[in-house]
Structure 1
Amino acid sequence: MAEFTPRRVAIVGGARIPFCRSNTEYSHQSNQDLLTAAFKALSTKYKLAGERIGEVSAGAVLKHSSDFNLTREAVLGTDLDPHTPAFDVQAACGTSLQTAVLLANKIAMGQIDSAIAGGSDTTSDAPIAVNEELRKILLDVNRAKTGGQRAKLLAKIRPRHLAPNLPSVTEPRTGMSMGEHCELMAKEWKISRRAQDELAMASHKNAAQAYVDGFYDDLVFPYLGVERDNNMRPDSSLEKLSKLKPSFDRENGTLTAANSTPLTDGASSVLLASEEWAKARGLPILAYLTPYSRTAAVDYVDGGEGLLMSPTYAVADMLDAAGLTLQDFDFYEIHEAFAAQVLCTLKAWESKKYCEEKLGRSEPLGSIDTTKLNVKGSSLGVGHPFAATGARIVGTLAKILHQAGPNKRGLISVCAAGGQGITAILESADS
């Protein structure tokens, strides 16, 4: 057999709709509505009408059972060739970065020439299930053979059964919310309230400035009359933020509504391709998604590790695979689930003890230049529709690298529920 050489995976570019705080502008939109809008924006941007894409993958975290084929239905709602296949992925907050990596691997292996990765989430249209006891009774009624049996089962229904089973953002293994887990991390790593508020302010200001500079003009496309992410608060101040009450530990907490991401509705997408496919259609290549992506997980249940610390492991493994150091990057995109999470991660990489005991390294990974961190704003500023964040970051970083010029490199780090994380490396197109 002929020797096989993996192909480079080009990032043509991204497109998304504005992100909005839940129960605001998109309060009556479904995940399918939002994802379809993001795909339509991408198709319009790159003139993909009638194009048969190799494969499309996206997903949502809070998803109705009727959305079992969400991505395929969203594709069918666009002007893409209906022969375009699609599949769903759910990897919590890492969903759309995971879809990008999975599709990139297929492009690299020559299985497909083009792909669209994305994600959508809305907590405004969150699925509400019937009471669990009522559900079991109704299933028994469905299985009953006679009218008498059904009547006897229905007689078991009580007023308490009418209370719905609302979706929860708590970890099933601990019963704690992600914010409560992050409070523990902030205490362990001695992350101050002020440091968290400063990082949050920087995210808002960077995002707002990026809009002023026109950076998002061809990345964020209007939807339902909304033109910008409505979470941005660039006029805030440390004094204002300092007056907010803690959200998760009322007595001794440091995490607030300002330094934690809000529940957000939105969708994003990114177009990937082989170099040949992109060039044949006259499409730009902004950057390349390298093959060094890594995933990791921590034992936050029995091992006492911080729920959102897995990217520290994934980044360390990724650096080894790529033969790079933490300082060999021009830009860092670290998903801001909470300001404290980002600061804990940075502090862990600087800790000799942590790097020795957890990462098995003789020396710490070291510090990064924080002026290179989330330079166009991140989740604290623009919002965080769970499954949409990864594709947002890929599209944003690809454009940052393209504008920065040749021989530039960017690192992506995304933490996710369940004590998991995913990372990736992007390189500018001329590197």
Structure 2
Amino acid sequence: MTDTITSDLPNSYRTQPDERGHFGQFGGRYVSETLMPLILDLEREYRAAKEDPAFREQFEDLLEHYVGRPSPLYYAERLTDEVRRNAPDGPNGEKRGAQIWFKRDELNHTGAHKINNCIGQILLAIRMGKTRIIAETGAGQHGVATATVCARFGLPCVIYMGATDVERQQPNVFRMKLLGAEVVPVKAGAATLKDAMNEALRDWVANVHDTFYIIGTAAGPHPYPELVRDFQSVIGREARAQLLDRVGRLPDVCVAAIGGGSNAIGLFHPFLDDKDVALLGVEAAGHGLDKEHAASLAGGAPGILHGNKTYLLQDEDGQITEGHSISAGLDYPGIGPEHAWLRDIGRVEYTSATDRDALDAFQLLCRTEGIIPALEPSHAIAAVVERAREMDRDRIVLCNLCGRGDKDIFTVAKALGVEI
């Protein structure tokens, strides 16, 4: 079976981060003295686990037989046809409209990409002898995945979730409780993902001796951005191999939605050294970049939050401002440090999609392919449609469909003025 932790791909971009957890000027570990011994222990344990065949074997076995990997690679024929009907002609009168392919990680057990990382981290927690798990969650998919692996391995877990998100993600809250998790609503700040992560960090500092914090995104203090990326890179490795097998070449562009950025870095990382493959991350533009949004690369500045340096939404005094998105999973006011670095060096292009764009894309995929996506990848789908329309027909756009839309139907219905 393909090694799902390390890879034989070229190493020019993939040598990041450095030994202190920096991607250029970004990353690092800005944590209290109480947490430093645990952070260092985690890094040592992760380095050892990567070299341990037994760890790799257990991780791969669970991904295959519990998660359901490899997830399918799907050619979206009707969506491609729809894009082509509305595409402009090329300079010589030829019809435009690239092929659109989806990496279908929404078909994983629990309905999103989050489970890949949670499997890896729960195995690390067990190796370290930790007996209690905590996590933060926004849209609830990471919370559900964490609760799932804790149920599988018989460990208690506490999930911190902003009270605003608890209200708008009731199906996932109920799923977490069914799985045995304690869900703690956080009422501070805007009561969303940033505030849930603040509360989880407070818990961790107070319970270092027995508690492991499963961070869901590719952010936080080193080594979290690296290890989350490595566990999620199974997405890109599979997609790369699947496209080579089915069409005999790599995609022209890979697209993924960006909140903190775990699904995107999971797709992008195995393609970083393929210079002919463009990479496009899509942030949440909310009501517009001149209004309320969560596009920290487009509208933020470097700063420090949750243990790492990255681009953050800030006011003129450097205070963190609240992000907004119709998607509870994309309203984090920062981004993973590797994304910040990849943006600054120009390897990855970052754009954004508004709430309205995401709603339109959500409905378009439902109508054309019979797939109900989560609101997070709906932002990416909006960018895919726009980008594919301008490309030649023999080109390939690969998009990570990182979550399914069961959790979002109430939010979408409300936005469309529909009563359920």
Question: TM-score under structure 2 normalisation?
Answer: 0.24
Q: Which has the larger radius of gyration?
A: 1
Which one scores higher on RCO, CA 8 angstroms, separation ≥ 6?
A: 1
